[in-house]
Structure 1
Amino acid sequence: MSAGGLTVRTQRQDEPASRASPAGGRRRALVAGVLTLLAAALSQPLSGQVAGDPGRRIRDPDGHPFRTPAGSPLEPAHRLGFFRADRDSLRDGIASADLGDRLTFWISRDPDGPVEYAGSIQGGAFSRFDLTGPDQTLIEVHYRIGVLFRARLGALAARAEFYHVSSHLGDEFLLDTGALPISTSREGIEVLVQGSPFSGLTVYGGPGVLLRTSRDFDAVSFRAGADWESSSVARARLYASADLFAWAELGWEPALAGEVGAAIGRGARLGLVLGLGPSRAEQFFRQSERLFGLSISYVR
């Protein structure tokens, strides 16, 4: 179905979930491989305090434990992007505009001790707009609100988040296309562990489980990734990041995001973005998607 140069495939509320396929074994093997590599990387700091103070490298710019994965599309942040999106063999020009941030407060601060804790509240709105139509129609917007418990245990950091996600199609998009919205409202818990095998690199990963959903979604998910930054030269740094998200509801097909570019100051980034796999736009989460374009972001 098409309108204003944007073509979509509508999806009904009762559309069956993707289940195991011949590729399912390969996807599970990929997730298992990522888990193995992550465990190996995280185990390095446990052998002792390596050069460069890994405890410091797993803090955010304000000194709180667990550095926010700046390259993950799931993290609330201030982002503006312009992309070519290929979905179901269709090519669309889209813009993304995300607004999100977090407020962190200390529970137990002990920078020289083995353990310290912090709490956070975070939230964000993630939206997409049609660049091919005359009115740059809002296509989709979804929201993520979370309460986080963050901790540092020696050279490792951990984060537990209780979150809520909900999504909506744009009103004009609904009228122009006749698309049917999908209820993706859900609450869940995600636990991530983070370490820094060497200076400039952080790796993270862990499971998630849904506690309540508006549909009978499979509950278990997994996220992992890595973020590297070079040494600072005149407040600018090169960076590269990769993020993987896999969900049992989609037969563990991984949604991959990669980004390379330049970081400036405390949290600003300008980079090229590549996305593969299930769409990170909630209303199209069952559709395979390829994204490529430019992103400007600020992540604290």
Structure 2
Amino acid sequence: MRLSSLVTVLLAAALAAPAAADAWVQTFPQGAQVFTPLIADPRETQLSASYYRLNGRNDADVALGHAWGIIRWRTGILSDWLWQLDFEGMAYSRFQLGGGINKFEAVDFFANLPIEVRKGPASFKAELFHESSHLGDDYIRDTGNTGFRYSVEGVRGLAALDASRYLRVYAGPSWLIHTVPAPQRWALQSGFELTSDDLHWSSSSPMRLFVAQDLQSRENVQWNLDSNTVAGLKIGFAGSPRSMRVQFGYFTGHSPYGQFYAQKEHYADIGLAFDL
């Protein structure tokens, strides 16, 4: 099936459902609220920065991403199915830090069109996505490596369950409709998130401890496992779904950057992320 056909089907399903249900509809809601973003997924749409040591270098990742809500609606006899169509975009960059000059190494661009649905403790997400990866001028000048064309489009599905007030688990597959350069198309993802009760350190800002684990296995690297573990403090704002995370992490596996997807990386990082 061509990508344009999938987009048409996805949009038709999203826009037809609220009209047929004759139920509550909201346009341009806050994005990424029905299916809560994954804390430990390195490529979750986010606004974040992190520092780590890789191969004896000081490196930093900077993610500039956001989710825009398009339409939200309810269906079901009790209006207990909550749906939302979003658009997500992100630029994810790596810099080598040193002296007075920070060298630009690589950037990946993402564009996603997800449909999210929630019923009680269960939530689901199905999306079309695009990713392209590019080497930075500083990296090319230092290494002489001009890289290769990396561009993929595909579909991804995720199911999540709030198993308790503290535990969330999730899993799902993805399949590439178009892929350059590797022909392999399948990937699997799973993980969990543990979140504490409010620590009551501040009356105006709820604070919670969290631990999250994300596991991914891709056919284009012989199904070898990529693991990202994150732990830290989530600081909220009273009366708002927005929050900030101060976190420590450890990644081991093949690089999440497209230009380096065949290279293995291992590093511990410290970071700051915002849920906007």
Q: Which residue of 1 aligns with 2:87?
A: 121
Q: Which residue of 2 aligns with 1:103?
A: 68
Cα 1:224–1:240, aligned 2, differ >3 Å: closer, same or farther?
Answer: same
Q: Tell me how far apart the structure 2 counterparts of residues 241 and 61 of structure 1 sit (CA, whole Å).
A: 24
Using the TM superposition, give the Cα deviation of residue 63 of structure 1 relative to its aligned residue in structure 2, in angstroms. 8.8
Residues 117 and 152 of structure 1 are in contact (CA less than 8 Å); yes or no, is this contact kept in structure 2? yes
Residues 255 and 276 of structure 1 are in contact (CA less than 8 Å); yes or no, is this contact kept in structure 2? yes
Q: Which residue of 2 aligns with 1:76?
A: 45
Q: Which residue of 1 aligns with 2:58?
A: 93
Q: Deviations over 1:27-59 (max 9, x none)?
A: xxxxxxxxxxxxxxxxxxxxxxxxxxxxxxxxx
Q: Normalized against structure 1, the TM-score is what? A: 0.74
Aligned residues: 237
3-state SS of 1:67 partner: coil
3-state SS of 2:150 partner: coil
Residues 146 and 161 of structure 1 are in contact (CA less than 8 Å); yes or no, is this contact kept in structure 2? yes
3-state SS of 1:267 partner: strand
Q: Deviations over 1:141-192 (max 9, x none)?
A: 0011100011123431110010000011111210121013122201000000
Cα 1:133–1:141, aligned 2, differ >3 Å: closer, same or farther?
Answer: farther
3-state SS of 1:176 partner: helix
Q: Tell me how far apart the structure 1 counterparts of residues 100 and 207 of structure 2 sit (CA, whole Å).
A: 38
Q: Tell me how far apart the structure 2 counterparts of residues 142 and 269 of structure 1 sit (CA, whole Å).
A: 23
Q: Which residue of 2 aligns with 1:136?
A: 102
Q: Tell me how far apart the structure 1 counterparts of residues 267 and 149 of structure 2 sit (CA, whole Å).
A: 24
Q: Normalized against structure 2, the TM-score is what? A: 0.80
Q: Which residue of 1 aligns with 2:222?
A: 251
Q: Tell me how far apart the structure 1 counterparts of residues 155 and 111 of structure 2 sit (CA, whole Å).
A: 12
Q: Deviations over 1:42-84 (max 9, x none)?
A: xxxxxxxxxxxxxxxxxx9979421111221111111111101
Letter in 1 for 2:172: G
Using the TM superposition, give the Cα deviation of residue 278 of structure 1 relative to its aligned residue in structure 2, in angstroms. 0.5
Q: Tell me how far apart the structure 2 counterparts of residues 97 and 182 of structure 1 sit (CA, whole Å).
A: 22
Q: Which moved more, 1:148-157 or 1:204-213?
A: 148-157
Structure scoring higher RCO (CA < 8 A, sep ≥ 6) equals 1
Residues 250 and 269 of structure 2 are in contact (CA less than 8 Å); yes or no, is this contact kept in structure 1? yes
Q: Which residue of 2 aligns with 1:167?
A: 133
1:268 aligns with 2:234: no
Q: Which residue of 2 aligns with 1:285?
A: 261
Residues 76 and 122 of structure 1 are in contact (CA less than 8 Å); yes or no, is this contact kept in structure 2? yes
Using the TM superposition, give the Cα deviation of residue 207 of structure 1 relative to its aligned residue in structure 2, in angstroms. 0.3
3-state SS of 1:66 partner: coil
Q: Which residue of 2 aligns with 1:192?
A: 158
Q: Which residue of 2 aligns with 1:239?
A: 210
Match of 2:184 among 204, 215, 218: 218
More strand by share: 2
3-state SS of 2:57 partner: strand
Letter in 1 for 2:53: R
Cα 1:155–1:293, aligned 2, differ >3 Å: closer, same or farther?
Answer: closer
Using the TM superposition, give the Cα deviation of residue 132 of structure 1 relative to its aligned residue in structure 2, in angstroms. 3.8
Q: Tell me how far apart the structure 2 counterparts of residues 63 and 96 of structure 1 sit (CA, whole Å).
A: 22
Using the TM superposition, give the Cα deviation of residue 110 of structure 1 relative to its aligned residue in structure 2, in angstroms. 5.7
Q: Cα RMSD between the aligned structures?
A: 2.0
3-state SS of 2:227 partner: strand
Q: Percent identity?
A: 25
1:202 aligns with 2:168: yes
Q: Deviations over 1:180-220 (max 9, x none)?
A: 31222010000000101111221111000000122242010
Using the TM superposition, give the Cα deviation of residue 240 of structure 1 relative to its aligned residue in structure 2, in angstroms. 0.8
